[in-house]
Structure 1
Amino acid sequence: MIEILTTGLPNTIQDLGRPGHLALGVSHGGAMDRQALAMANLMLGNDPSAAGIEVALHPFRLRTNVDTAVAVTGADCVVSVGNRPCPPWWAMTIRAGETLVLEAPRTGARSYVAVAGGLDLPLVMGSRATDAKGGFGGLGGRGLSRGDRLALNPAQCRLPAGGIGAALEERRGAVDGFASAIELRVLPAAEFDAFTPEAQAAFTGSEWNITSDANRMGYRLSGEALSLVSPMELLSHGIVPGTVQVPPSGQPIIQLADANTCGGYPKIATVIEADLWRLAQAPVGARLRFSAVSIEASTEALRMNRQRRRDFIAARNLMVGEQRRP
């Protein structure tokens, strides 16, 4: 059992989501930064889809009443376990009565906390993820509150002495959207050709700012207004995380993890799946820049992400195996 000591309502229980229910009006949901949560679980030997905690509001503190192990990934923030400093993207043991503390991020926006075995919560439509819009999943569809107690699944977690970490080179400096614009690769969407040549050029040729109108459903951006060749009306149709819609204001909206399942605004582009973690780690006020890529490049980026996960599993198994030798 772990107890939440310091939190905010934006902090929720998440896993890798509940795909396959868009036809029922249920969004994919799950962790905004799926790569970060999956890696936190893998460091502990959990299934990558095990439920953990998405921390969007820092500082965050929890205490455990059992000896276990925790992993923290995502945003670059100061982390301590029982007053011992913990490196970024690291898993280590935590003793009964000790406290895990996450301070405000230096860069990035969301941290992920995984616990050995994963959080023991009911499955709803095959997932433990919190769906705040629907009011289900996680802890009754709500954010975490001080005093919440979360049960853990049984686990036998083996870690090397001092813990284990993951270093992902592509994340270094990738989400400091104040020092430089965060680069996002996109594919043209169905209505791309309905926008004027000037709007098409502005979309990829200028920078965009994330406004304060930003949450797990989507980010509204500010920048040069994007115009259509001529007014158009569309019936509502399916949309997915990463879809970039353009309402009549001309200011784009990027749909994210808790995106609506359908919408009627014209779509100019879609952020590729391999880059959605960059959006998850982009804070309000950060600058974005879009670059168009091919479907082949998008597929290759996703393949590389999955290969890095497999490489890490192999490396972890080797390290744990070496640790167990007499």
Structure 2
Amino acid sequence: MIKVGIIGGAGYTAGELLRLLLHHPAVEISFVQSNSQAGLALSNVHQDLVGETNLCFTSGFDFNVDVLFLCMGHGRSAEYLKKHPILSSVKIIDLSHDFRLKAHAYQSDRSFIYGLPELQRAAIQEAENIANPGCFATAIQLALLPLAANDLLQDELHVHAITGATGAGQAPSSTTHFSWRDNNLSVYKAFNHQHLGEIEESLNILQKNFSQEINFIPMRGNFSRGIFASAYINCSLSMEEAKDLYQEFYQQAAFTHLSEQPIHLKQVVNTNKALLHLEVHKGKLLVCCALDNLLKGASGQAIQNMNLMFGLPEKAGLQLKANLF
């Protein structure tokens, strides 16, 4: 059994991580640390875990584990690792933004591999430390990677993506308050969202010297979870050529699938799947991607990376069905 520890166990991503790990066939949870909830039962905070576990949050930690998941806010993982030396034998999967960019991947005494399996499966299998991708970044990269791999991103990109309220994290704010969010839509961080950097770096892995403008408009949706992203670009591919290109690129992908029919969020919420759909319109290629921001966009992908790092079946603990109705 793989012994797992979690640092920062009270938030949304940690809650989903726990829900999945408790039923993972090859995992034993050693401890779940939380400064704010120490001593309380996990189910006091993550109420979907009532009857699932008797574990309680701890204030301390036991680094006698095989893998450590860091589920803290952005900026706090790097600080944590500086203050708490961890044995090199312990693998780390960080769910924050701290180590995703190349410039930050070596800022501690560890080096981090960017953990998008559809892009770097072989590197993840050999990695000691993983920087888990961002939720928007995952959806947008999956929409664009096959084009980059074929040197087809030769014009500026237009991307629109809408995310559920859980994308903002568990701490309440003015834009997550029910009376503000309900029956409402809004744009935020237009053209300068923090996930753009990791998207650009990944596209450069496949299409050298990629420098096209990514016009990204993120939106807040009035629903709890899920991301629906659409991207379009000038492209000379026919519909059949585009389908062949995407099917070939993702033929070995465990969770990313091309749909012949238009996609929607209910197909992916509560799963680790990413669904793609293509359309061609007058010399433009439209790519839509739908995924669950808390699973394929965060905790599910973190477990997918853990499975790859430890030589487990990639789908272990992640064979989930969408709540379609």
If the length of structure 2 is used for normalisation, what is the TM-score? 0.27
Q: Which has more helix, going by share of residues?
A: 2
Greater CA radius of gyration, 1 or 2? 1
If the length of structure 1 is used for normalisation, what is the TM-score? 0.27
